[in-house]
Copies of this chain bind each other. A is one copy, B any other.
Amino acid sequence: MFESTDKKSTPLSSLGEFGLIEHISKKVIIRNPSTVKGIGDDAAILDFEDKYTVISSDMLVEGIHFDLSYMPLKHLGYKSVIVNISDIYAMNATPTQIIVSMSLSNRFSLESVEEIFEGINLACEVYRVDLVGGDTTSSTSGLTLSITSVGKVDKADVVERSGAKPNDLIVVSGNLGAAYLGLQILEREKIIFQENPSIQPELEGYEYIIERQLKPEAKRDIFKLLKELNIKPTSMIDISDGLSSEIIHLCRQSNVGCHLFENKIPIDTAVSFTCEELNMNSTTVALNGGEDYELLFTVPMECYDKIKVCDELSIIGHITEEKEMKLLTLSDSIVDLTAQGWNALLKRENK
């Protein structure tokens, strides 16, 4: 980290596009019967039989979504897949295929591309997803990754954002705010390093929040848990832009409102400690931080007992008929929720 290493560097132009595709394809393993044909034709061929196909896309741009001075390329590859398949789980669907397109400037070598694909292939292995196609091209500056993920779901099982009903419980998985704080620490250490390259970054004690930033996971366990509990959420969304922004999406699309309880928002102790150190409010961080990739969903009130006993799930409020989104604070005052979440159309620095 924060260091340039003397690794082997093969210019991409020495392979050409087809050579690069062939090179990448060699390490691709197909795991899903729905993949009829992967890389190597004008298009991939998929077969979902009687199921719905779900499909989603995300673009990650260097200097906007990631900073290679502290984001290792392998982690970037891994994270870019996670960010995408998280959307598939949020439809209550199983991710099955991804398509990866990337543009790279000539500062990237074959070895850099290999590192990115190491991360992509690892995520494919862990989540049993098939890499079935994409595009690789040059750019005049920087690295852009655009991934499309495809999944399947039984028609009766699909969960949209729009199904939340009054009195439904609002549930969130895991805990919130860690990825955002991890980013703050990495940015802080980067500035210190830039000012004095002899000082090595101080990352001890921040492992958890930094891992949440650099190597997030998609919530497959929650997807499985809900199946085991025989619970089909009435609505669901993944938290990429912060709890506040996501609950507002969910309420607006369901034409309802909500009451959230500040004291119920799950916050890890590592987040509390770091917030104290950085003089930040942990609720603000949880509401607006983003990049958690936890699942936010609503369930009928009857599910209370089933949810209550799950350590991985927190009931943080309920849906209201009145179309207002409110937070009951620790000091018993009621405030409006606002969407101040991550806005990818503003630069990270302007946030």
**A binding-site residues for B, Cβ under 8 Å:** 12-13, 15-18, 20, 36-37, 40-50, 52-59, 61-65, 87-88, 90-91, 93, 97, 99, 101-103, 132-142, 144, 146, 148-151, 155, 158, 160-162, 236-238, 253, 339, 343-347
Q: Complex: how many Å from CA A53 to CA B96?
A: 13
| Cβ contacts under 8 Å, A61 to chain B | 103, 137-140, 144
Q: Pick the contact of A137 from B42, B87, B141, B345 — CB < 8 Å?
A: B345
A87 to B141, Cβ gap below 8 A?
no
| Cβ contacts under 8 Å, A161 to chain B | 40-42
The minimal Cβ–Cβ distance linking A36 to chain B, given in whole angstroms, is 6
The minimal Cβ–Cβ distance linking A250 to chain B, given in whole angstroms, is 10
A101 with B58, Cβ < 8 A, contacts A64-B137, A140-B63, A140-B141 known: yes
List 8 tightest A-B contacts by C-beta distance, closest first: A146-B146, A43-B56, A42-B90, A63-B140, A42-B87, A137-B344, A43-B54, A46-B53
Q: Complex: how many Å from CA A160 to CA B36?
A: 11
A91 to B45, Cβ gap below 8 A?
yes
B138 to A64, Cβ gap below 8 A?
yes
Q: Pick the contact of A347 from B48, B50, B138 — CB < 8 Å?
A: B138
User: Which residue of the partner chain B has the closest CB to A18?
Assistant: B339
Q: Complex: how many Å from CA A18 to CA B343?
A: 9
B135 to A59, Cβ gap below 8 A?
yes
A57 to B133, Cβ gap below 8 A?
yes
**Further pairs besides A59-B146, A138-B345: 18, Cβ < 8 Å:** A12-B345, A17-B343, A17-B344, A42-B88, A42-B91, A43-B56, A43-B90, A45-B160, A53-B53, A56-B99, A58-B135, A59-B137, A61-B137, A63-B139, A65-B137, A137-B345, A140-B142, A146-B146
B17 to A55, Cβ gap below 8 A?
no
Q: Complex: how many Å from CA A347 to CA B134?
A: 19
B148 to A139, Cβ gap below 8 A?
no
A52 with B45, Cβ < 8 A, contacts A64-B138, A140-B142, A346-B13 known: yes
The minimal Cβ–Cβ distance linking A41 to chain B, given in whole angstroms, is 5
| Cβ contacts under 8 Å, A62 to chain B | 140
A46 to B52, Cβ gap below 8 A?
yes
11 A-B pairs with C-beta separation under 8 A = A16-B345, A18-B339, A37-B160, A45-B53, A45-B54, A46-B55, A53-B150, A55-B55, A103-B144, A136-B344, A139-B144
Q: Complex: how many Å from CA A101 to CA B93?
A: 22
A16 to B343, Cβ gap below 8 A?
yes
| Cβ contacts under 8 Å, A135 to chain B | 57-59, 146
| Cβ contacts under 8 Å, A133 to chain B | 55-57
| Cβ contacts under 8 Å, A59 to chain B | 101-103, 135, 137, 144, 146
Q: Complex: how many Å from CA A64 to CA B134?
A: 17
A146 to B343, Cβ gap below 8 A?
no
Residue of A102, A150, A151 contacting most chain B CB atoms (<10 Å): A150
